Amino acid sequence: MTGTQLPAARRLIVNADDLGQSASVNRGVFEAVDRGIVTSASLMVRWPAADDAVKGVRRRPAMSLGLHVDLVEWAVRDGAWTELYQVVDPSDEGEVADELGRQIDTFVRLVGRTPTHLDSHQHVHREDPVRTLMLRAANRLRVPLRDESDAVRHCGSFYGQYGAGKPYPEGISVSSLLEVLDGLGVGTTELGCHPGRGTFDDLETMYASERDTERATLCDPRVRLGLVERQIELCSFGDIT
């Protein structure tokens, strides 16, 4: 067969974590959907802003919505990692199983359907017993679990801190994001992000001003042009699940 060979397809899901954790996070995520390249989000169902987040998703039917399983959060305080809260002990298999079931049930009640994908706050599912339990849930729901799917690889390079919460604004600049796009492999990649908009006085977090920077980068016209120039197709988990 002769002729020009078409380039291998590269598809990108841009998934915003922490949707529903606060109004400021919700604002940033939805702006990054409406004006930027975000196509998907992961919902934290335990927080008061989750209801408004679901209402916002319903007005944006092209978005996919997964469950951001929320068990614990850590932050750096006075140079040391400190636990901000714990829902259940991540090392207790029975407690994790019960809480995972509760959060899936809450998601279905709020959203009216099952999640399109699963992941976890601060990646606690990368360790057992959370990993095994979430793998079972993902298999039962027939959806991808972050880091564990053959269909979608995860990229966490777009992040504005390193080490023990040290600022790294270069990591969430337009030029940095374009470099990430240059390195995407063939197939489908999920790019994680954490956009927000506001003063973040409604959220106790070590990742605050970075959310505004992420939102601005994700909405920058140069990024969308970069996708076109690199022949990268935006999609959502709903397109592959």
Q: 140 with 103: CB under 8 angstroms? A: no
Angle formed at CA 35 by CA 218 and CA 240, multiple of 5 degrees: 75
Residue of 73, 127, 69, 139 lying closest to 98 (CA atoms): 69
Residues facing residue 141 across a β-bridge: none
- Of the candidates 17, 70, 119, 220, the residue annotated as catalytic is 17
Return the axis-axis angle of helices 174-182 and 221-229, rounded to nearest 10°.
Answer: 20
End-to-end CA distance of the chain: 33
17 catalytic? Reply is: yes
Residue 158 dihedral angles phi and psi, to the nearest 5°: -90, 90
Q: Are strands 10-19 and 232-235 parallel, antiparallel or unpaired?
A: parallel
Return the axis-axis angle of helices 23-34 and 50-58, rounded to nearest 10°.
Answer: 20
Number of H helices, E strands in the chain: 8, 11
CA distance 106 to 100: 10
Just list the catalytic residues.
Answer: 17
